[in-house]
Amino acid sequence: MVQRLEDKKLKRMSRRELLKLAPLAALGVFAIPQLTDRLVMAGVHFSDWASGVAFRSGHLAQTYPDSKVVPFEKFPYNGYDVLDPEVDLENWTLTVEGDVQRPGEYTLAQIQALPKIRQNTRHICVEGWDVIGSFGGTRISDFFKLIGANTAARFLEVECVDNYYESIDMASALHPQSLMCYEMYDQPLDRKHGAPLRLQMPTKLGYKQAKYLDTVRVTNVLKPGKTGYWEGQGYSWFGGL
């Protein structure tokens, strides 16, 4: 009987001591770079998973009247490398690959012939700034109908003229506000904002909204090491708001 009481006391003490030591153990883990990197990446992957589960395809981002839109000249230019990769606008075509019925080259005129959406939405940059802008283009979902995309596939991959690359989950690509954008402020995209075609998705952070589109690919398997340029630097893959 005495021994049993001593065992229980020891177990209680062990739990208390472990709780006291837990913060020190955590500090020890974060003092080891290899373990820190693994924990950070595990946290990022969990955040991506949770964001995907929480995403509501029917929930619309807020839209604004024209009076709330920032003047065009105050909409910041932003890029990861060069602001103008000098796209040959006259001869540009969009290459379509992957799990689609009609792969090949598509002109801007073919994309512009699809139903046009104009929306005033907030663009949020991971660097800490945001502005309300005016955008025009066709829904990605309408373009998918044109190319016969398999919307049961998991991802949309994009590659850009400036060698930028990104990938988007299919639910976000099919969101009714996700655009293949060819206009800003009722004018054709200018070169520094991604002409002739970019992604515009008010449910995503700015780095997911790739500019200077060159190739799109519908797929179930992402290219290793090519999930996204900034994701390779440790950013969240889902990139949602």
What pLDDT shows up at residue 125?
96
Write out pLDDT tens, residues 171-193: 999 999 999 999 999 999 999 99
* CATH architecture of the domain with residue range 63-233: Alpha-Beta Complex (3.90)
Mean pLDDT of 12-35: 45
Write out pLDDT tens, residues 155-169: 999 999 999 999 999
- The number of beta carbons lying within 10 Å of the beta carbon of residue 122 is 16
pLDDT at 20 over 60: no
Q: What's the pLDDT band for 79 if we cut at 50, 70, 90? A: confident
What pLDDT shows up at residue 1?
47
Write out pLDDT tens, residues 81-116: 888 999 999 999 999 999 999 999 999 999 999 999
Domains in the chain: boundaries: 2-31, 63-233
Q: How far apart are CA 22 and CA 201, in angstroms?
A: 42
DSSP the chain: -HHHHHHHHHHHHHHHHHHHHHHHHHHHHHTSHHHHHHHHHHHHHHHHHHHHHH--TTPPPPB--GGGSPPGGGS----SS-S-----TTT--EEEEESBSS-EEE-HHHHHTSPPEEEEEEEE-TTS-EEEEEEEEEEHHHHHHHHTB-TTSSEEEEEETTS-EEEEEHHHHTSTT-EEEEEETTEEPPGGGTTT-EEE-TTB-GGGS--SEEEEEEESSPPTT-S-TTGGGT--SS-B-
What pLDDT shows up at residue 160?
97
Cβ proximity of 122 and 202 under 8 Å: yes
The answer to whether the Cα torsion of 121, 124, 125, 128 is positive or negative is: positive
Mean predicted lDDT score pLDDT of the chain:
84
Mean pLDDT of 131-153: 98
